[in-house]
């Protein structure tokens, strides 16, 4: 990754105020980008809750390819997504 990505990740990781983070996202990303980002997060939540990929595709109106990608990471115990979503189930 490049230094811009590193700086962005450091900034996001250090921010603890949710309202400020939401404002930051709205200043950086377009409404469409925020929608897509939120949709991806939603599909990860649904996968972690046990909803089938076909149900998610139908409910959210997204491709199975996007869902399969998320599913792959949620099954990998070394992935950050696995760690995040398995800790929210506890």
According to the model, what pLDDT value does residue 89 have?
56
According to the model, what pLDDT value does residue 43 have?
96
* Residue listed under structure tokens 């998320």: 70
According to the model, what pLDDT value does residue 87 have?
79
pLDDT under 50: residue ranges of the chain: none
pLDDT over 70, % of the chain: 96
According to the model, what pLDDT value does residue 1 have?
63
Kindly list the structural domains of the chain, giving each domain's residue range(s) and its CATH number in brackets, ordered by start.
Answer: 3-88 (1.10.1270.10)
**Torsion over CA of 58, 71, 83 and 81, rounded to 10 degrees?**
-80
């Amino acid at each position: 990754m490049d230094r811009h990505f590193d700086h962005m990740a450091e900034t996001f990781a250090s921010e603890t105020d949710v309202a400020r983070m939401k404002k930051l996202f709205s200043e950086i990303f377009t409404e469409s980008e925020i929608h897509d980002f939120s949709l991806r997060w939603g599909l990860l939540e649904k996968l972690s809750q046990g909803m089938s990929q076909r149900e998610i595709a139908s409910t959210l109106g997204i491709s199975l390819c996007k869902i399969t990608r998320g599913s792959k990471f949620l099954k990998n115990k070394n992935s950050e997504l696995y760690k995040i979503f398995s800790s929210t189930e506890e």
